[in-house]
Structure 1
Amino acid sequence: MSQRYFTFDDLRVILREAAGLADESVGDDALDMPFEELGLESLAVLETGSRIEREYGITLDDSYLTEVKTPRALLEMVNEELAAAAA
């Protein structure tokens, strides 16, 4: 089985669809911006995590999702789970 990666582009699509962010809100400079600065509250991050779980067939730790602060941190968590699932 080939390993699948979750990219920033994948996350952008989910943030736009699940959290209702405008296209310009999640530009390349948003990778290290706190979710609050992007206009996301913790419930929106949890909804984003739920959507990722459904679409990618992985389980994300809710307690970590409530602590994750930036898109980069979320990407790292998702890719760690994807790698573990592929192993």
Structure 2
Amino acid sequence: MNSTRTFTLDDLRRILLEGAGAEEGVDLDGDILDTEFKELGYESLALLETGGRIEREYDITLDDATLTDSVTPRLLVAAVNEHITAAADVAA
């Protein structure tokens, strides 16, 4: 089960690219941790798709507020890991 896995920036990059691709001129391999998603070319619809992919892959549920409040990759990675930890605690 994926509930004990850690969600990383590399996981987020992969899921963003799988779901929405990359905006021309945006280097997701660079230091993007604190760059807002809108600056990276990802609007709310792309983030909802990303959230759905994360939920399926990590068997967690992210509410809309988590996705809208997590305006940078750093915030989203932290929020996803909190959900993974909470799901693992419930399953234990």
1:4 corresponds in structure 2 to: 5
- Structure 2 residue runs of 5 or longer lacking an equivalent are none
Bigger Rg over Cα? 2
Of the three residues 31, 52, 67, the one matched with 1:50 is 52
After superposition, the CA RMSD in angstroms is 1.7
TM-score, length-scaled by structure 1: 0.89
Describe how 1:1-87 pairs up with structure 2 within 5 A. 3-21=4-22, 25-87=27-89
- Structure 1 residue runs of 5 or longer lacking an equivalent are none
TM-score, length-scaled by structure 2: 0.85
What per-residue deviation string (whole Å, max 9, x for no partner) do you get for residues 61-86 of structure 1?
11221232100100011000000111
Identity %: 60
Give the number of aligned pairs.
Answer: 86
Helix, strand or coil: the match of 2:53? helix
Give the Cα–Cα distance (whole angstroms) in 1 for the partners of residues 65 and 15 of structure 2.
Answer: 20
Runs of 4+ in structure 1 off by over 4 angstroms are none
